[in-house]
Structure 1
Amino acid sequence: MPAFRQVGEKQLPNPVLCMAWSPKRDLIALANTTGELLLHRLASFQRVWSLPPSECTGKEITALAWRPDGKILAFSLGDTKQVVLCGVEKAEILHVFPMQHPVTCMHWMEVTEENSALSSFYNSEDESKLFLPKLPTLPKSYSTTSKIFSEEKSDEIMNLLGEVRLNVLVLGGDAGFVELYAYGMYKIATLTGVSGTCRSLSLSSDLKSLSVITEVRSADNNPEICYIQLDTGLLSDCLSEVTRMARKFTHISTLLQYLHLSLTCMCEAWEDILMQMDLRLTKFVQEKNTNTQVQDEFLELLLWGQSSPELQALLMNQLTVKGLKKLGQSIESSYSSIQKLVISHLQSGSEALLYHLSEVKGMCLWKQKFEPLGLDSAAIEGAITAVGSFSLKANELLQVIDKSMKNFKAFFRWLYVAMLRMCEEHVPPELNKMTQKDIAFVADFLSEHFSENEELFDRKGKYFNVERVGQYLKDEDEDLVSPPNTKGNQWLKFLQESTHLKESPLLFPSFPQKSLHFVKRMMESVIEQCLQKPAEVIGKSVKQAVFLPLYTVPESSENTPRLFELPSLWNDKKAKMHYVLFCMPEVSPSKLYLLRKGTDPNRHIPNSVMSIDLSHHLDNTDDDNAAAQPNYIYSCLDARFYDDEMLTVVLQGSEEENRRRVLAQLPLASALSCETEFNWQTHLRLDQQSGAIPCQELVLGNQWRELESMKAQFVAVNGIRKVACVLSANLRHIRVFEMDVEDEDDEGADSQNASADQDGLDASMTSQGPGEESVEAEDEGGEQKGAVFQKTEEHLESEEALELS
């Protein structure tokens, strides 16, 4: 009786390009050719949700990886060169960051090494909560692109960082592009010196080395598969420092995003309605025949209660009493929204940023620990100064808003009364009382704001700048049209007269001529330089320890999806070994090869290469005619490490037995205890010296199962959850198995009614809506879980035709 119980089967409408099991739950993520990301549960292969491709991300998913705690999925997009972090619970995009090259492979690992210096840090990590107020969530009414800050969560950034223990997302691409991101968000290393296109990578859990499989063009222009081991000793030696720095910088980069989104909300709160006053006054100047200034016309109305026919026409026909009232209300609500955003979001975000940067400055001063990682105290000081300047500019904006609100209130109140008198309507007595002080206030406002400016007409197509807040929110490099008037400011006068204070590093520069956007961009670029420096320094410390050319790529593999193709890398945490699993079909189709290297490049491990012979290992012990059966010759289509001691393989028989496909488990204990050491001739490729590789024969026992009616080609496994998913050569037919359970329902399933099976299969093919089921929901219906969908003859024929095409 074959092992492994089939728990689900599906024909998918679109070919699958990547599949990966969750490290913590019975969930598998699939990415298809349309750019859709799907999450399925093991039980009957139910769909939990789907994330369709969006305009802001892209449609060409090239790689997929789970965060080690199973709460976040990372996927890369080839068409837009981006990496996206997606929350597993609700299928929402949490974070997107751009890449310089398209990503071809990714691996997300967690550090398992314990470190005494780290345990004290784990306990003190949340100290910032004691000193900083919680960041207010961004208003939902605005079109902010990030979900991180718009959800009501206790602490958004901590949710993104996950556990305190360091985890690293490793990304590889074309032209030797390799980058390491701590917590999947902050770049800690940009590697140089890797040759070729990355096909697979694995960072060891002790951080001592990074194994990379690359495809390199050889001297005769043939693609060669090579194994490279990079020494990442600096990361393991400075583990606690790297962890501290990464968490701090992740806080800082998320706070920058928070400030950026807050400013976006402010720009949306500032309405174009505020421009109407300026545009109407310009139109009025262009149309009127007299030479008098607009300012004088309004002052005449204020002082004598008389207006020219032109001004009367502007007020009564264009502006109207109703329009004036509406304009006044719009300006007030717009200004108060911006004011609230500055006080609650910009100021609290800047304070948090200053706090975290000051802590980083303290780290910089501990030179023996943090200088090797590229922390530069002068650069951090510059960043602190830039944040201070941004806070000052936000404060300046608050003063401008405050002054504008008072001015507009007084101006609109007076103009409203004047217009009511013009149309001879009743003026409410409470509005009619204007003191001499009020008149002087409005006169000052008119003389300051209603003067024509010829330069302004060239730049903006208007003569006036009555509204002063919008200029701070314009994302342009031009100086402010009307910078704040600092005449009579005692503090500024004192500073200018004091030679010592003028150049003091303790005072933040204020940039009076610049907009808020300009100062924010300047702050971002200064902080960005601080964030990038460690990635360069750590990247340069990584050196190539091993370079081994393995074999040339067979021409037949050009059309195979690279995402599943061997070689496969495995990181054995207990034995501290990197394993590389590969086939060389051109040299010996019935052999599977295993290369192993210690994760510590400075430690020599013998038996670095061996092969496993797959010729005749289906041991039919249950069959009475076993002795009469010939030995089968098998070749390996795909192989993955199930755990430290077991391989899961998809095998294909020879022509004589109709190329039947088999799913099998290969125990590795005898292979790994092989004593013969292979003497590698370093000037030759491995396939040129394959005859000298030590070989092991394995007997499967009953650890195999024939995959009937399926052109199986690829497999994805998770040994912790004891599950496997087999994919056909046409990338659209999937079968899911529980690996440590015998299939008791086999006989019952065979006798199922064909029409019922067809219905079941059709039902499984209909796509379920996104968000249909929570990730946390328990698997239901044990009987259903074991059900096997049998297919009718017609369906199989159509599938075979598809595969052949």
Structure 2
Amino acid sequence: MRAFRQVGEKQLPNPILYMAWSPKRDLIALANTNGELLLHRLSNFYRVWSLQPNENTGKEITALAWRPDGKILAFSLGDTIQVVLCDAEKAEILHVFPVRLPVSCMHWMEVQEENSGLASFYDSEDESNRFLPKLPSLPKSYSTTTKIFSEEKSDEATNLLGDVRLNILVLGGPCGFVELYAYGLYKIATANRIAGYCRSLCLSSDLKSLSVITEVRSTDDDPEIHYVQLDTGLLSSCLPELTRMARKFTHISTLLEYLRLSLTCMCEAWEDILLQMDLRLTKFVQEKNTSTQVQDEFLELLLWGHASPELQALLMNQLTVKGLKMLGQSIESSYSGIQKLVISHLQSGSEALLYHLSEVKGMALWKQKYQPLGLDPAVIEDAITAVGSFTLKANELLQVIDKSMKNFKAFFRWLYVAMLRMSDDHVPPELNKMTHKDLAFVADFLAEHFSANEELFDRKGKYFNVERVGQYLKDEEEDLVSPPNTEGNQWVKFLKESTHLKESPLLFPTYPQKSLHFVKRMMEGTIELCLQKPAEVIGKSVKEALRLPLYTVPESSENTPRLFEMPALWNNNKASMHYVVFCMPEISPSKIYLLRRATDPCRSVPNGLIAIDLSRPLNSSIDDEDAAAEIPGNGTYRCLDARLYDAETLTVVLQGQEEERVLAQLPLSAALRSEEEFAWDTTLRLDQQNGSIPSQGLVWENQWRPLDNMKAQFVAVNGIRKVSCVLSSNLRHVRVFEMDVEDEDEEEEDRQEESQNITPDQEALEESLTSQKDAGANMEAQEGGEADQAAEGGSGDTLEHTSSSDTL
């Protein structure tokens, strides 16, 4: 009998490079050579969605990993060196962050703590929602690069944290590059002490160790495959503190992204049309022949109502009445939009940032708990100060916007009336009234904004800076062209004269010469130092506890996709062990090796290395000789790919002597109970000690299935959902199976075979038994009917007898 039921098969247009099953649902993610990310459902291998490559995400996917709850899919991009977090429901990019080196492997794990006392800590861990208002969602009208804070996903910043329980995304790459990201967002550790190219990695669910498969190259010899176990005991011993710190810093990271996107929306709200007045005035100065100043000509128009022919040509031919009206509407709408974004987004985001940083500072002052994790109160205080300076600069922008709107409104109203008079048009009565106060206001505006500045022409290619808001939104290192005028400000005067307050740490410093973008970048740099310090301290605590050289890799295997090559790592949560499955095809092509290491580097595991020999005659529990002859293993097989289905079952793709391919489930329980021990000489590679490794045969029973008409090569499994996906060697042909379920076609064949093997005598005997059974059923029905009638007829006698006996 053969197990497994095939539920889907498909020929794909592009070769598949990576595939990963969802841990919670019957979904599998595929990445192809075209850079597409595909999500397929188990039933008939139905495609749910596809994420097309574009200029924002890149086109070369190098690794895949699911968040343990199955809601978010992470993938890395080799051409842009980024990691992308994608919503598994709608194929929307939620977050993108750069990494230092290209990622070759990733693993997303969830902490499984054994201390039940942590439950109360988790329940009261984050109370920010009780004190902070909900962040306003970013408006749809702006083309923000991610949808993390859109109106449909206004809560996604919190949802990205997942469940309260800590989960960590681990990334690996060349040059021993290994980084750990809490909740997939905040980097909590950078390990730089690993030699070689990371091929596979796995962080234990108790955070005690990190297992890595590395490829170490030398100039002369073939590359060597090493197993490295890193001691991450600091993460395990400080789990409550690590969880609280990670959640706080993840909030801070998302708030920085929120402020960045809000500032992007503000830059998009500012329009280039606002520079039209500056450009017109500059061109007017360059073309006019008189030496009269521009502000003098406008003042003459204001006081006497007369304009020079050149000024009249500027106003009536170039600016025009319609253009002036349009410019006024654009300025009002643009400034209003920027003002709303500053008040609702920048200020609320800055307040939330100050709240979380202040809590982190309080945590850092508890040195006994948080100093081992690298929290430095001085660095956090600098970050709080930088956020305060950013808040002050945002308030300064609000004042500039408010003043500019008042100035432009009065100026355009006067200029609009003057241009109507030039064209002899009717002037509405409500616009024709100007008081002396209005005249003085416009005169001050002309004197301040309409004086030609030679330095400004050298720097910006123009003489005028009538529009003062845009300079705050430019991402440039240079100082503001027209910084705010603080003359007459009593508070500024008081600070300059007070020697004590000038140096007081209680006051946030201001940068009157700098733009909002500049102060924002300075704030981000200071907070980045605050966020990097724990990652550096924790990274230094990660030390190499064990290194085992396994075998050499021939250069000819370079063409094989790396993801599907063994060795493969797997974490057993219940037994607190790392499992490593690998083959040494150059030494023993018919053997599969299973290495087990305790997640605690100080603890040893009995029978830590076994070899499963596929060429030895295997025992079978089937008595039928014909059925036993069909069982794989009675010939020579070699393993093409293997994945751990669960702690005691191995899913393998095998190749026989005649290129036949078999999908099988190998039970490991008997082999794991073996009492033979292997004395490992760590000075030699494992392939040099192959002869002394304990070797075991296995009972296959019925857990296998031939893969007809398919040159199978790779397999991906999910033991929780009991599913597997087999991929052909050309990377285009896939088959999906439900494991531990018999194939419906084979059940139908068995029933047909049973019906065909019945003899005529047996048929006659069955017909006789059937007729006897029917006759017996009829007799029982008749007897039952007579019994019912008798019961009905005798009911009165029974009642009468009962009553007489009661009387007696």
TM-score, normalised by the number of residues in structure 1: 0.91
Asked if the contact 1:620/1:702 (under 8 Å) is kept, the reply is no
Q: Which residue of 2 aligns with 1:732?
A: 732
Q: Which residue of 1 aligns with 2:626?
A: 625
What amino acid maps onto 1:625 in structure 2? D
Which range moves more in the overlay, 424-433 or 119-128? 119-128
* CA root-mean-square deviation: 1.6
| Residues 314/696 of structure 1: CA separation in 2 closer, same or farther (3 Å cut) | same
Partner of 1:193, secondary structure, is: coil
Asked if the contact 1:117/1:240 (under 8 Å) is kept, the reply is no
Alignment of structure 1 residues 97-112 onto 2, 5 Å:
97-112=97-112
User: Aligned partners of 2:220 and 2:523: how far apart in 1?
Assistant: 50
Task: State whether structure 2 residue 571 is matched by structure 1 residue 549.
Answer: no
Once the 2 structures are TM-superposed, how far is the Cα of residue 218 of structure 1 from its aligned partner? 4.5
User: Aligned partners of 1:420 and 1:154: how far apart in 2?
Assistant: 48
Asked if the contact 2:230/2:545 (under 8 Å) is kept, the reply is yes
Q: Which residue of 2 aligns with 1:23?
A: 23
Once the 2 structures are TM-superposed, how far is the Cα of residue 97 of structure 1 from its aligned partner? 0.9
**% identical aligned pairs:** 81
Q: Which residue of 2 aligns with 1:391?
A: 391
User: Aligned partners of 1:32 and 1:151: how far apart in 2?
Assistant: 32
Asked if the contact 1:620/1:626 (under 8 Å) is kept, the reply is no
What amino acid maps onto 1:393 in structure 2? K
Alignment of structure 1 residues 184-195 onto 2, 5 Å:
184-195=184-195
5+ long unaligned stretches in structure 2:
752-808
Partner of 2:663, secondary structure, is: strand
Greater Rg over alpha carbons, structure = 2
Task: State whether structure 2 residue 650 is matched by structure 1 residue 651.
Answer: no
User: Aligned partners of 1:131 and 1:80: how far apart in 2?
Assistant: 39
What amino acid maps onto 2:527 in structure 1? I
| Residues 89/627 of structure 1: CA separation in 2 closer, same or farther (3 Å cut) | closer
User: Aligned partners of 1:631 and 1:606: how far apart in 2?
Assistant: 30
User: Aligned partners of 1:642 and 1:319: how far apart in 2?
Assistant: 75
Q: Which residue of 2 aligns with 1:529?
A: 529
User: Aligned partners of 2:629 and 2:25: how far apart in 1?
Assistant: 44
| Residues 288/627 of structure 1: CA separation in 2 closer, same or farther (3 Å cut) | closer
Task: State whether structure 2 residue 640 is matched by structure 1 residue 637.
Answer: yes
Which range moves more in the overlay, 78-87 or 601-610? 601-610
Asked if the contact 1:6/1:736 (under 8 Å) is kept, the reply is yes
User: Aligned partners of 1:263 and 1:695: how far apart in 2?
Assistant: 64
Alignment of structure 1 residues 202-213 onto 2, 5 Å:
202-213=202-213
Partner of 1:23, secondary structure, is: coil
Task: State whether structure 2 residue 596 is matched by structure 1 residue 599.
Answer: no
Once the 2 structures are TM-superposed, how far is the Cα of residue 503 of structure 1 from its aligned partner? 0.4
Asked if the contact 2:149/2:155 (under 8 Å) is kept, the reply is no
Alignment of structure 1 residues 228-239 onto 2, 5 Å:
228-239=228-239
Q: Which residue of 2 aligns with 1:300?
A: 300
TM-score, normalised by the number of residues in structure 2: 0.91
Asked if the contact 1:212/1:227 (under 8 Å) is kept, the reply is yes
Alignment of structure 1 residues 327-346 onto 2, 5 Å:
327-346=327-346
Asked if the contact 1:223/1:552 (under 8 Å) is kept, the reply is yes
Partner of 1:740, secondary structure, is: strand
User: Aligned partners of 1:90 and 1:159: how far apart in 2?
Assistant: 15
| Residues 512/134 of structure 1: CA separation in 2 closer, same or farther (3 Å cut) | same
Partner of 1:161, secondary structure, is: coil
Q: Which residue of 2 aligns with 1:580?
A: 580
Alignment of structure 1 residues 234-633 onto 2, 5 Å:
234-615=234-615, 616-617=617-618, 619=620, 621=622, 624-625=625-626, 631-633=634-636
Q: Which residue of 2 aligns with 1:798?
A: none
User: Aligned partners of 1:593 and 1:328: how far apart in 2?
Assistant: 77
Asked if the contact 2:619/2:698 (under 8 Å) is kept, the reply is no
What amino acid maps onto 1:54 in structure 2? N
Q: Deviations over 1:206-233 (max 9, x none)?
A: 0000000111125743101110000000
Asked if the contact 2:139/2:151 (under 8 Å) is kept, the reply is no
5+ long unaligned stretches in structure 1:
752-805
User: Aligned partners of 2:682 and 2:735: how far apart in 1?
Assistant: 42
Q: Which residue of 1 aligns with 2:54?
A: 54
Asked if the contact 1:38/1:51 (under 8 Å) is kept, the reply is yes
Once the 2 structures are TM-superposed, how far is the Cα of residue 117 of structure 1 from its aligned partner? 6.0
Alignment of structure 1 residues 694-709 onto 2, 5 Å:
694-709=694-709
What amino acid maps onto 2:612 in structure 1? I
Task: State whether structure 2 residue 670 is matched by structure 1 residue 667.
Answer: no
Which range moves more in the overlay, 509-518 or 737-746? 737-746
What amino acid maps onto 2:358 in structure 1? S
User: Aligned partners of 1:710 and 1:518: how far apart in 2?
Assistant: 60
Once the 2 structures are TM-superposed, how far is the Cα of residue 744 of structure 1 from its aligned partner? 2.0
User: Aligned partners of 1:460 and 1:84: how far apart in 2?
Assistant: 39
User: Aligned partners of 1:410 and 1:533: how far apart in 2?
Assistant: 52
Once the 2 structures are TM-superposed, how far is the Cα of residue 555 of structure 1 from its aligned partner? 3.9
What amino acid maps onto 1:49 in structure 2? W
| Residues 622/357 of structure 1: CA separation in 2 closer, same or farther (3 Å cut) | same
Asked if the contact 2:727/2:733 (under 8 Å) is kept, the reply is yes
Once the 2 structures are TM-superposed, how far is the Cα of residue 154 of structure 1 from its aligned partner? 5.5
Once the 2 structures are TM-superposed, how far is the Cα of residue 631 of structure 1 from its aligned partner? 2.8
| Residues 647/447 of structure 1: CA separation in 2 closer, same or farther (3 Å cut) | same
Q: Deviations over 1:120-142 (max 9, x none)?
A: 33212341111111110111111
Asked if the contact 1:584/1:591 (under 8 Å) is kept, the reply is yes
Once the 2 structures are TM-superposed, how far is the Cα of residue 426 of structure 1 from its aligned partner? 1.4
User: Aligned partners of 1:693 and 1:671: how far apart in 2?
Assistant: 13
Once the 2 structures are TM-superposed, how far is the Cα of residue 423 of structure 1 from its aligned partner? 1.4
Q: How many residues align?
A: 748
Asked if the contact 1:14/1:34 (under 8 Å) is kept, the reply is yes
User: Aligned partners of 2:623 and 2:143: how far apart in 1?
Assistant: 65
Q: Which residue of 2 aligns with 1:759?
A: none
Once the 2 structures are TM-superposed, how far is the Cα of residue 115 of structure 1 from its aligned partner? 3.6
Partner of 1:169, secondary structure, is: strand
Q: Deviations over 1:327-377 (max 9, x none)?
A: 111111111111001000111010010001001000100001111111111
What amino acid maps onto 2:155 in structure 1? D
| Residues 524/466 of structure 1: CA separation in 2 closer, same or farther (3 Å cut) | same
User: Aligned partners of 1:139 and 1:187: how far apart in 2?
Assistant: 29
What amino acid maps onto 1:638 in structure 2? D
Partner of 2:709, secondary structure, is: coil
Q: Which residue of 1 aligns with 2:762?
A: none
Partner of 2:635, secondary structure, is: coil
User: Aligned partners of 1:476 and 1:610: how far apart in 2?
Assistant: 63
Asked if the contact 2:62/2:75 (under 8 Å) is kept, the reply is yes
